[in-house]
Structure 1
Amino acid sequence: MIKIDSITKTFASQTVLDSVNLEIEDGQKVLIIGQNGAGKSTLMKAILGELICDTGTITINGIDPTKDRKKALEFLSFVPQTPPPLKLRVDELCEYSIKSSGSNLSDIKAYLKDLELDYDKEAKKPFYKLSGGMKQKVLIAIALARKSNTIMFDEPTANLDPEARDRFLELLNAKFKDKTIIFISHRISEVKGIVTKVVEMDLGKIVNERRIENE
């Protein structure tokens, strides 16, 4: 479970998170939605332990990510919206993830196959030279292979074409029903059919929470 209790974060005179309270239960599929500047990305960074809030607490399975980030991140995988400009080859990036997380290459290859990317064909290429969609697929496969309880995606389909987007959502539906999944997006249509809870943010506040029953 992720528990967010009355967190506030201010940069200079701007309050970007304003007394945010949120609980994400194990197995939930949550969409955090809102326009640019709503506070979504700042909330994401707070969950990841990348910034310390001015007030309030965050725990991931009881672990505070700002006090024991390494332990907290054992429960959480993350795929960013903008892939970093890594100069590692694809196989080197996968090897690094395997060594640091205990995942295995066969799972990464299998998820890439599900996303219609041939690992053996792309393995020796520098990651930064891949197309945006290919980078996204590699990062998704690495995150899924980590076997974390919770997977967080920031604008998960931004770099994927419609077919790749559909394959990505089918993969989550088929193999990750028991996982907690958090999507950060502008649009609910991108993850329609998966999310069970929508959290709407505006100006640093949660202004609405609602559950969704999928058919």
Structure 2
Amino acid sequence: MLKLDGLTKTYAGQRGVNSISFEIAPGEVVGFVGPNGAGKTTTLRMIAGTLEPDQGTVQLMGHDVWSNRQTAQAVMGYLPEHAPLYDDMTPRSYLDFLLSARGVARKQRPDLLTQAAKRTQIEDVLDRRIEGLSKGYRRRVALAGALAHDPPVLILDEPSDGLDPNQKRVTHALIRELSPGRIILISTHQLDEAATLCSRLILIAEGQVRADQSPADFAAQNPEGRIEDVFYRLTAGPSPTASNPDEAQT
């Protein structure tokens, strides 16, 4: 289980994330939604162990992300919003490098690499330099990197960013395929994507959880069943200026 308890992060005296708590069990695909500057990316970075919270804890499959970070990260695949790629590498060498860095034995890497490439449909560009790939392919290479070691937990920040409609369809089908038995948390600005893919929506605004329920229950709060209207009602109003440059684009 993924469990957040009182997760808090302050930037320049302002609470970017304010005592967030929730749990996600295996088999759940949860959408993490909210307006720009709400605290989504900050929260995902703390879950992934790349940003330390001021207060609170993250437990992942029984491991504390900060006191036992290496073990926790070993069971996690993390796709940042702006995932770093090495332009002088090919997708094949990049994925092999990631698997090596995770301590995967050399003889196991080819099968895992092939599996990740097939899942993300990048087989036809495996041996091209990353710098020459389109934005959509680059995003899928980054997603393949998160999936390469076949983790039981996936933390995905805007997984469909830069993808065309056909690529989005493939990515959505992949998430559905991977969901049984896995914990999947997806941050997205696309409410229709979240409603289609996710069994729960956690809505965050001004660093706090405003709602946590199924897409159907969200839609039921509006007479016409429009999630967008419910989103606006729960998040409308002045939003504090994000002092964290990363969060300003969230």
Both structures adopt the same fold (TM-score exceeding 0.5) = yes
Instruction: Say if 1:77 and 1:162 are closer, same or farther in 2 by CA, change over 3 A.
Output: same
Counterpart residue type for residue 158 of structure 1:
D
TM-score w.r.t. length of structure 1? 0.89
- Secondary structure of the residue aligned to 2:197 is coil
Q: Runs in 1 of length 4+ with deviation above 4 angstroms?
A: none
Bigger radius of gyration among the two: 2
* 1:100-129 deviation digits (Å, cap 9, x = unpaired): 34363334334434544334xx23333233
Q: How does 1:1-215 map to 2 (within 5 A)?
A: 1-86=1-86, 87-101=88-102, 102=104, 104-119=109-124, 122-212=125-215
TM-score w.r.t. length of structure 2? 0.77
Any gaps of 5 or more consecutive residues in structure 2? 217-250
**Percent of aligned pairs sharing the same letter:** 25
Corresponding pairs, count: 211
State which drifts further: 152-161 or 165-174.
165-174
- Secondary structure of the residue aligned to 1:137 is helix
Q: When you count helix as a share of all residues, which structure comes out higher?
A: 2
Instruction: Say if 1:117 and 1:147 are closer, same or farther in 2 by CA, change over 3 A.
Output: closer
- Secondary structure of the residue aligned to 2:176 is helix
Q: Is the 8 A contact 1:7 1:17 kept in 2?
A: yes
C-alpha separation between the residues in 1 aligned to 2:131 and 2:183? Answer: 29
Counterpart residue type for residue 93 of structure 1:
Y
Q: How far did residue 193 of structure 1 move? A: 2.9
* 1:129-167 deviation digits (Å, cap 9, x = unpaired): 321111111222232232211111111111110001001
